[in-house]
Amino acid sequence: MITGSIVALVTPMHVDGSLDWAALERLLDLHITSGTAAVGVTGTTGESATLSVPEHMAIIRHCVDYVSGRIPVIAGTGANATREAIELTRAAAEAGADACLLVTPYYNRPTQAGMYEHFRAIADAVAIPQLLYNVPARCGVDLANDTALALARHDNIVGIKDATGNMERARDLLARAPEGFAVYSGDDPTARELMLAGGHGNVSVTANVVPELMAALCRAAIAGDAEEAAALDERLAALTSALFLEPNPIPVKWALAHLGLIGPGIRLPLTPLDHKLEAVLRDALAGVTA
């Protein structure tokens, strides 16, 4: 089981929107040396919604090949079409990914029964550890705890990324989850609380920018060191807030470009950070990285 800080990695791009492989390798090296527990690629923060299927598969293969076992790779392979999700998950397994992250089917708004059958079909089709990903604010559907826990009985479904920010629900998941089923936060502002309650880690946007600090926060919270975790969380609070001033990954890509780690590329329909917000994010960065 992976525990700790799992970065929800951005996908670096050139100004024209083409993939920047050299910058991607720099980011992977940064996380390998900064205490990050695993890299999550081709997810929400990685602009998966704008990647073609060949690009999606190529990024996963490139990351797996480049890290060469130095850090686990969790591949985002979810889709709102079950057949496409199976295709992506199978490709990730063949590429050597350590696990897959599968978002709830967006736009077509399936029922709980539909989501159960969707995830079960993928788990039946591909023998790789799979994490459910519930993010109602983006997807328009909400995977109920009862549905997630029913899916947890499948051997290939090993955990969930809960991005609801709802601690009552998270505690219920933790209380009822079977042994070996991991519960990760997908919400930086409430991640500390979830991990102190027994969660196994944080799939983090903030970790893109300050990987060592997020790794330290996760270690402290998972170990039950509430005082140290609170101090680190307070130090990160302004930055975490600023990274969500506009839809993710707009602010985090601006921050990484400001730090010289990637170029400014981002794909439509996302646009560069509003100039009026740059000073807020610049100050938040300075407060943490100084």
pLDDT tens digit sequence for 206-255: 999 999 999 999 999 999 999 999 999 999 999 999 999 999 999 999 99
Overall average pLDDT of the 104-124 stretch: 97
Q: Which are the contacts of 108, defined by CB distance < 8 A and separation ≥ 6?
A: 80
Assess whether pLDDT exceeds 90 at residue 112. Answer: yes
pLDDT tens digit sequence for 83-102: 999 999 999 999 999 999 99
Which of 232, 159, 236 minimizes the C-alpha distance to 198?
159
- The structure tokens listed for 274 are 């509003």
Task: Cite the DSSP H helix spans in 112-260.
Answer: 112-125, 136-139, 145-151, 167-176, 188-196, 211-222, 226-242, 250-258
Overall average pLDDT of the 176-192 stretch: 97
Q: Are 76 and 101 spatial neighbours (Cβ–Cβ below 8 Å)?
A: yes
Consult the annotation and say whether 203 binds a ligand.
yes
Which among 66, 106, 107, 133 is annotated as catalytic? 133
If pLDDT is split at 50, 70 and 90, which confidence band does 290 have?
A: low
State residue 1's pLDDT score: 85
Asked if 133 is an active-site residue, the reply is yes
State residue 87's pLDDT score: 97
Q: How far apart are CA 79 and CA 58, in angstroms?
A: 17
Longest alpha-carbon distance in the chain: 50
State what percent of residues in the chain have pLDDT above 90: 98
Overall average pLDDT of the 73-78 stretch: 98
Q: Kindly state the DSSP code that residue 208 receives in the 8-state scheme.
A: G
Which among 66, 107, 161, 253 is annotated as catalytic? 161
State what percent of residues in the chain have pLDDT above 70: 100
Overall average pLDDT of the 112-141 stretch: 96
Please give the sequence-ordered ranges of beta strands (E in DSSP) within the chain, or none if there are none. 4-8, 38-41, 73-76, 99-103, 130-134, 157-162, 182-185, 201-204
Q: How far apart are CA 6 and CA 74, in angstroms?
A: 9
Give all domains of the chain, ordered by start, each with its CATH number.
4-226 (3.20.20.70)
Overall average pLDDT of the 146-158 stretch: 98
Asked if 161 is an active-site residue, the reply is yes
State residue 289's pLDDT score: 73
Assess whether pLDDT exceeds 70 at residue 61. Answer: yes
